[in-house]
Amino acid sequence: MPLPSSVRTLVRNAPTVAPVPNRQLLSVTGSQAAEFLHGIVASSVPEQPQSHFYTAFLNAQGRVLYDAFCYATPSPKGTRGYIIEYDAGSPEAPPMLSMLKRYVLRAKVKLRDVSHEYDVWAAWGSEREKSWETERSWSFAASGAVEPSWDVARDGPPWGTEPGVLRDRRAIGMGHRLLIRKGDRPQEASTHDVATASDYLLHRILNGVPEGSVDIPPMDALPMDSNLDIMGALDFRKGCYVGQELTVRTYHTGQIRKRMLPVVIYPQNGSSDTLTDSSPLPSFPPGVNIRMKHTTTPTDDTPRPRPRTTGKLHSSINGVGLALLRSEHVAAVEKEDAALEFEIGENEKTKWTVTPWWPDWWPVSHD
């Protein structure tokens, strides 16, 4: 299912910069900062001291606590350092600072909250990104896990090395992220359209990118269900880290049955063209259950997916959102054998239709 034509009207094609709200920042410095993080996070810490990266913190059961960006901040003497950017909006996850302190032991690291020193911005849509956003290569596992294959020798570190500027490689077209001194505006504000945090939310939904505790609920979300493998936050070949056992076992012997996908939301008696109407669509609370219903009568004995709870709606805005859906039900919708819907409202419940699509960048195996 390609991007619906009605959704294309929501895409911002002009160079744009927007603040990213509700982000916390934690500084990790010291001679053993890289080794310390490497033993905790689900990706590999790059060998180059200047290289940024994207990763995830998992609990011992392999559930996601945080998805995080790590900005390299080496000292003038070459000592490793990082600023971790993450969403601390959920009370379900243990506080990042206290969690990391439990792992310090005798490691030569210093932890410090620096949220009061920086703001986070996102920029996208400029010619600058085309110089490093090269064509992706992918590695596919039998379980359904997918990893980006970075050619560091040819293209350099995938997430960049420029101080305070991180290339957002979670999806093609996401742009880059900026660490800006608190209260300042990024240089891009003079050459880009300055948008709002809601515009950034819409931008990543249209690109199929989950982020933070609303889309990746702490203590509940599994990393591959949340596309963290595809977005480059997982390394299935590195040594021991927290949550490794279940993650690697799923990669080798499991089966990934759910994925986070962008969806169009419109009234059941309407169509996706509602997005182009002047009347605003309501916002929807995260966590709404989405159900499948069959739309055709079977003509043979071919097994059909059961119409059980198929997933949940997470972030949404302007009639589009991100939803965790069962792959078998998405396939049934593609064949027009089923539809996805949810009801909302207290007295007079309104039914809404949910139609997923595959982002343009989504990896496709040609085997």
Q: What is the DSSP string of 144-165?
A: S-EEE---HHHH--TT--STTE
Confirm if 172 and 157 have CB atoms less than 8 A apart: no
The reported pLDDT for the residue numbered 308 is 63
Residue extents of the structural domains in the chain: 5-238, 258-356
Comparing CA positions, the residue from 60, 69, 144, 70 lying closest to residue 94 is 60
Q: Tokens 């009370």 map to which residue?
A: 91
Q: Which residue has the higher pLDDT, 152 or 216?
A: 216
pLDDT in tens, 56-92: 999 999 999 999 999 999 988 778 899 999 998 888 8
- Report yes or no: 261 and 357 within 8 Å, Cβ to Cβ: yes
pLDDT tens-digit readout, 119-150: 999 999 998 888 888 788 999 999 999 999 99
- Percent of the chain past pLDDT 70, that is, above it, reads 92
What is the structure's pLDDT at 9? 85
Query: Quick one: average pLDDT of 283-306?
Result: 78
Q: How many Å apart are CA 103 and CA 110, to the nearest integer?
A: 12
Res 297 pLDDT > 80? no
Distance from C-alpha of 262 to C-alpha of 13, rounded to nearest angstrom:
19
Residue 310 has pLDDT above 80, yes or no: no
Helix (H) or strand (E) holding 320: strand 320-326
- Dihedral sign for Cα 358, 359, 361, 362, please: negative
> Is the confidence at residue 190, as pLDDT, over 70?
yes
Q: Which range among 133-147, 178-192, 265-279, 332-346 shows the weakest confidence by mean pLDDT?
A: 265-279
Q: What is the 3-state secondary structure (H, E, C) of 276-315?
A: HCCCCCCCCCCCCEEEEEECCCCCCCCCCCCCCEEEEEEE
Per-residue confidence (pLDDT) for residue 356, from 0 to 100 = 95
CA distance 133 to 195: 23
Give the model's pLDDT for residue 233: 97
DSSP per-residue letters across 62-100 = S-EEEEEEEEE---TT---EEEEEE----SSSPPHHHHH
**Size of the chain, expressed as the number of residues it contains:** 367
Q: What is the pLDDT of residue 155?
A: 85
**pLDDT greater than 60 at residue 278:** no
Residue 90: the pLDDT is 86
Q: What CATH superfamily is the domain 5-238?
A: Probable tRNA modification gtpase trme; domain 1 (3.30.1360.120)
**Helix, strand, coil in percent for the chain, rounding step 5:** 20, 30, 55
Burial of 13 (0-12, 13-18, 19+ CB in 10 A): exposed
Q: Between the ranges 219-223, 307-311, 340-344, where is the mean pLDDT highest?
A: 219-223
Residue-level pLDDT at 365: 76
Of 133, 30, 121, which Cα lies nearest the Cα of 75? Answer: 30
Distances (CA, A) of 34 to 28, 49, 77, 92, 177: 9, 8, 15, 27, 21
CB count, 10 Å around CB of 336?
Answer: 9
Q: Which residue has the tokens 């960006």?
A: 69
DSSP category for residue 54: E
What is the overall mean pLDDT for the chain? Answer: 90
Write the pLDDT tens digit of every residue in 260-276: 999 999 888 766 565 65
* Residue 56 bridge partners (DSSP): 67
The answer to whether residue 348 scores a pLDDT higher than 80 is: no
